[in-house]
Chain A
Amino acid sequence: MSLKPKHQRLVLALSALVALIGAVLLAMWGLRDRAAYFVTPTDIASGTVEEGDALRLGGMVQQGSLKQLPDGVTLRFIVTDGKEQVETRFRGIPPSLFKEGSGVVAEGRLRGRTFEADNILAKHDERYMPPQLGNSVAEHAAGQTVEK
């Protein structure tokens, strides 16, 4: 199958166009249920969050809530945004910046009333503040950073 030069060019241009449209459709399909939405404890309390969806939960680790389970590698703590609380479980070695009273982003899924985190994000920067927190929390933490 040898085409005339002009037709060959048309076929190439059309295949490039089809590939591009295909890529956009593929990306849209992929993004529809694979983008992890960032949620706060308030979102979870309001019941708009589906159980089992991939999520990122952002907030602060509530003072006095961090407990190590007897196996030595599972943590239980409460993530709060100042208004609502979510019980969270994480199995693994948390990043060094993870402690009570500091900001946290946990990746995982909601199971019943508990958030099962399979990853706690280590930001490379201790000035990092989980976005979308209540302004009061953010300002409070910002103040602390400056003092430090």
Chain B
Amino acid sequence: MIAETGLAALYLAAALALLQLAVTAIPALADKAVATARPIALAQGLLTCISFLCLVLVFIRTDLSVTLVAANSHSAKPFIYRFAGAWGNHEGSMLLWVTVLALSGALLALLSRRMPERMLSAALGAQAALALGFYAFLLIASNPFARLNPAPAEGQGLNPLLQDPGLAFHPPTLYLGYVGLSVAFSLAVGALITRDVGPVLARAMRPWVLGSWIFLTLGIVAGSYWAYYELGWGGWWFWDPVENASLMPWLAATALLHSVSVLAVRGGLRTWTMMLAVVAFSMSMVGTFLVRSGILTSVHAFAVDPTRGTFILALLLLYVGGALALFVWRAPAVGEGARFALVSREGALVINNLLLSVILAVVFLGTLYPLMVEAATGEKLSVGPPYFNAVAGPLGLLLVLLLVVGPLLRWRRHDAPITRKVVPAVLVGLATLVATVILAPDISLMTRVGLAAGMALIPASLMPLFGRSLRRTPLATWGMVLAHLGVAISVLGMASDAAFTRERLAAARPGERLEVGPWLIDFVSVTPVAGPNWTALEARLRASQGGGTKELHPQARVFTSPLTETSEVAIATTWNGQLYTVLGRQTGDRWQLRLWWKPFVTFIWFGGVLVALGGLIALAGRGWTNRRNRRRLQEAEL
């Protein structure tokens, strides 16, 4: 019954989306469009939530008569994975996607009270059109509630790599970010249709962009840390197409976040901001296409089972093509932006946007190149870290260097010299450069520059607070400072990991002692242990450094359903880095051990969280200022 309820709710939501589209599209209904569409959008949000809850429920109860549950779950799984397993598969994750899409539409309808009616109506229409396509995709090509008759006695289980608390957190966060961008897309479409691109639109769009961007940032940070400790390869970013699929919307959203501010505050960059809003959500859809179509395994795999891939590709072309056509048609009618000098805050933000767009383009081309080559010539090739590090790395560092100066410039035009405020950053950067040349002559140029740029950005990011009353500094400024400081810390972590990581790979007998970086590691023993749905061999390592001793227990696990071996790394975290240990195979009476000492690697994720926190503070600050202004306005009217 639960599965049927979920499916019915989904059908009903699709019908409502069609109704919402019709209400907003028929000119005769124009005066009542928003008043009618608002409750419809809310109902849609509610229905998709019901549908999603139904799916979670059948997973928690392990209802094996549902095909999806039988294929991806198992009654012996711990509760959290039966729960999170609901979205650890294709159909479930698409349902989550659509649920977030409908909820975004509902929130847009609920919260946008101060927007021109016609613009909101057009935006709600665009949101309904997006939702309709993805409902169709779910119902026609990926029904999560299909029944299986007869029901099997036991399910096939969840991929052990996914059996991790990360699964409960990473996909929902990422999807909130991915799909939250749909509202920016719909608002841009609405503004282009009503020829009303200006600061009002930008102020309505900004919280959506900021909110999505916060979730995207957190989702990427969580995914990176998850891959780091789950895969046991010691890396934190692999330039895997699936990772790039989340990075591309983030790059576009970061550019949009900065340009929408220019539009909101100064009325500039109108056309450009519309373009970015369209591109940002298009990248979310491209990401969904890459991950969900099966095209990444092989273009041929895509050609063998083309329903899903072709469906998403068709939706992608329809929505992106439609929005771009609208953009080309209406762009000439978008009003002139406010003027600004080349050396100004706007000028710096334009360069920020151009650099981010170039990084986005090279990541996009690198990710799609293998697919294009295989489709055209049949030749297989892969584009990996050598390409992405070489082309995107220097551009990223350039962006960090710009970040030293940009926030110090005034809006419109900047005449006063900023030398005084840049001096600390330049001195710190040069000192770091000299120090690394003397102390670590062997590290690569890019990591050296990364260390210097990261160090220089620490004082530079705090500089906008310099010379102002800290109590009267707006929260938005605090948010910006914190986010930029987070970038500095993250860059330092990346550079430090690349420059100073020490690795030791050895086959050792229990009782032997190994050395890596500053650590001495005693290999004590290997003992068998058992978990709820796995058994493992567990090594006991005693690591000592200076005064402190840490116990580490890396495992080689064997999961029973499905039968899979994984390695469970053990990590010891200290203030200045992580000791990362992996237990490999047995060879004779020896065991393979792989040990890494990674100085300051934690800064990568710590910085990322700080970036998101900065965004959150800016979002809270803006919300608070808006409410205060409205209250003052009401008091003035009384």
List A residues at the B interface (Cβ < 8 Å).
1-6, 8-9, 12-13, 15-16, 19-20, 22-24, 26-27, 29-31, 34-38, 54, 56, 58, 68, 71-73, 91-94, 96-97, 107, 122, 124-126, 128, 131-132
Contact = CB atoms under 8 A, between A and B. Distances in A.
Majority-rule SS of A interface residues? mixed
A19 to B, nearest CB: 4
A9 B337 contact: yes
A38 B391 contact: no
Interface string B283-299: 00000000000000110
A58 B358 CA distance: 33
A137 B518 CA distance: 48
B533 interface: no
B564 A126 contact: yes
A27 B391 contact: yes
B515 to A, nearest CB: 16
A2 B386 contact: no
Contact of A72 (B231, B272, B336, B506): B506
B380 A15 contact: no
Contacts of B585: 93-94
B383 A36 contact: yes
A72 B507 contact: yes
B382 A35 contact: yes
A23 to B, nearest CB: 4
A31 B381 CA distance: 11
By Cβ-Cβ distance, the 4 closest A-B pairs, closest first, are A72-B507, A96-B565, A38-B380, A23-B361
Given A35-B370, A38-B382, A23 B357 contact: yes
B380 A37 contact: yes
A22 B505 CA distance: 42
Nearest to A97: B565
B594 interface: yes
A8 B339 contact: yes
Contact of A15 (B336, B354, B370, B413): B354
Interface in B552-590: 564-567, 582, 584-585, 587-588, 590
A5 B269 CA distance: 11
Given A31-B366, A34-B390, A16 B380 contact: no
Contacts of A26: 358, 362, 391
Contacts of B269: 12
B443 interface: no
B39 interface: no
A7 to B, nearest CB: 10
B635 interface: no
Given A23-B358, A35-B381, A8 B387 contact: no
B587 A72 contact: yes
Residue from the set A1, A24, A31, A94 with the largest chain B CB neighbour count within 10 Å: A31
A91 B358 contact: no
Contact of B337 (A8, A16, A73): A8
Nearest to B382: A36
Contacts of A29: 391
A73 B391 contact: no
24 contacts: A2-B339, A8-B337, A9-B271, A12-B272, A12-B350, A19-B357, A23-B365, A31-B387, A34-B383, A35-B369, A35-B370, A35-B383, A38-B380, A38-B382, A56-B380, A73-B505, A73-B584, A73-B592, A92-B505, A93-B505, A122-B231, A124-B159, A131-B380, A132-B380
B362 A27 contact: yes
Nearest to B558: A96
Nearest to B509: A72
Contacts of B357: 16, 19-20, 23
A27 B336 contact: no
A24 B582 CA distance: 40
Contacts of B588: 72
Contacts of A125: 159
Interface in B500-533: 505-507
A52 B358 CA distance: 30
A37 B159 contact: no
